[in-house]
Amino acid sequence: MQRINNDIKQGTFHQIYLLYGEERYLCKQYTERLRKALSGDDQMNTHFYEGKDVPVGEIIDLAETLPFLADRRVIFISGSGLFKSGGEKMAEYLSSPNETTFFVFTENEVDKRCKLFKTVQSDGCAVEFAVQDENTLKRWIAGILGKEGKKVSEQTVQLLLTKTGTDMENIRMELEKLVCYCLDRDVVTAQDVEAICTTRISNHIFDMINAIADKHQQKALQLYYDLLALKEPPMRILFLIARQCNMLLQVKEMRSRGFDNKAIGSKLGIPPFIAGKYVTQSERFKTSKLKAAVAQCVEAEEAIKNGRMNDMMSVEILILSVL
């Protein structure tokens, strides 16, 4: 990120940028900064392509066209998938592109072994936007609320993160709701967060697994009914329960091999503080119990697909049977 900030500040740009990673909010923010810096108000020489079927040949032809009454032509390409497969033609062109044409790619996933990624890394600027750690998110949240004249305690921020997760775009939307809700007050409280912020479905699943560990049958079922009330399909809930049990199995295995929270988070693609919650939850189950739960999830899915069991009832029985 610092590389992009420096380029914008100094006004010296790479001809090719690749912004990639799980943190889509930051990708969008920095893509917009590059657009303003490279294109300004010039719409004539600014072009946008999106999706898996971007016309590579057409883009290359456009790139070879000189800009109209401007210093540069800028082409933005997002979600193309070219950095996973099919990017050879683009890589060949970018090895020696028209010097007046600039490219900005944004992708969720890339294969660092592919020719196109290596070309950008060698001749341009590739920046990864990973999920931010807990302390960074806390400072960011406090900063946004501070600009709105609001104060917030660390405990309240922690509560907010347990509801929103680490997705900055989701956090930003919840913060906007909080600011409006607390319009006439200068302190955001835990009660405000509980009243206005939406809990992610994955958090409901996490709480459901906790209820199962505590043998709180009624609470586990109530969480399931809450998800159904939110129009979540039973099959998606089943998938998330299976995924959660699978992740807990992996966490137990890594803990037995001496992995710390940071290493576990890296392996699972989650921040260390989330990994810590998984470690705590995994300690409440025996490995045999988790393996049995995963097997039951598979059986429930087969029963639904074969028409032997109604999807809603099948998941309800699963929740009861793993207690």
CATH number at residue 175: 1.10.8.60
The pLDDT, as a whole number, for residue 104 is 98
> For residue 25, which phi and psi values (nearest 5 degrees)?
-60, -50
- pLDDT tens track for 138-193: 999 999 999 999 999 999 998 999 888 888 999 999 999 999 999 999 999 999 99
Please, what is the average pLDDT of the chain? Answer: 92
> Is it the case that residue 36 has pLDDT exceeding 70?
yes
Give 273's pLDDT tier (boundaries 50, 70, 90): confident
Rounded Cα–Cα distance for residues 284 and 278 (Å): 10
Q: How many structural domains compose the chain?
A: 3
Domain boundary among 142, 166, 196: 196
Query: Average of pLDDT values for 266-286?
Result: 86
Instruction: Supply the CATH number for residue 88's domain.
Output: 3.40.50.300
> For residue 286, which phi and psi values (nearest 5 degrees)?
-80, 150
Residues 62 and 152 occupy one common structural domain? no
Residues 140 and 242 occupy one common structural domain? no
What would the two tokens of residue 37 be? 């810096």
What would the two tokens of residue 266 be? 């890296």
Rounded Cα–Cα distance for residues 269 and 19 (Å): 18
Residues 159 and 264 occupy one common structural domain? no
Domain boundary among 73, 93, 128: 128
Domain boundary among 78, 111, 128: 128
The pLDDT, as a whole number, for residue 49 is 97
What would the two tokens of residue 4 be? 């992009």
Residues 8 and 116 occupy one common structural domain? yes
Rounded Cα–Cα distance for residues 174 and 56 (Å): 38
Residues 23 and 38 occupy one common structural domain? yes
Residues 65 and 147 occupy one common structural domain? no
Residues 171 and 216 occupy one common structural domain? no
Residues 221 and 253 occupy one common structural domain? yes
Instruction: Supply the CATH number for residue 260's domain.
Output: 1.20.272.10
Residues 9 and 116 occupy one common structural domain? yes
Rounded Cα–Cα distance for residues 94 and 101 (Å): 10
Select the more confidently predicted residue: 204 or 314.
314
Residues facing residue 47 across a β-bridge: 75
Name, in order, each residue with C-beta under 8 angstroms of 32's C-beta and a sequence gap of 6 or more.
none
In contact, 110 and 138? CB cutoff 8 Å? no
> Is it the case that residue 283 has pLDDT exceeding 60?
yes
> Is it the case that residue 323 has pLDDT exceeding 60?
no
- pLDDT tens track for 232-270: 899 999 998 998 999 999 999 999 999 998 899 888 877
Residues 153 and 75 occupy one common structural domain? no
- Smallest CA-to-CA distance from 246 within 282, 296, 207, 294 is with 294
Name, in order, each residue with C-beta under 8 angstroms of 197's C-beta and a sequence gap of 6 or more.
160, 163, 164, 174, 177, 178
Its domain, for residue 305, covers: 201-321
Q: What is the pTM (predicted TM-score) of this model?
A: 0.73
- pLDDT tens track for 45-88: 999 999 988 999 999 999 999 999 999 999 999 999 999 989 99
Residues 188 and 220 occupy one common structural domain? no
Residues 155 and 226 occupy one common structural domain? no
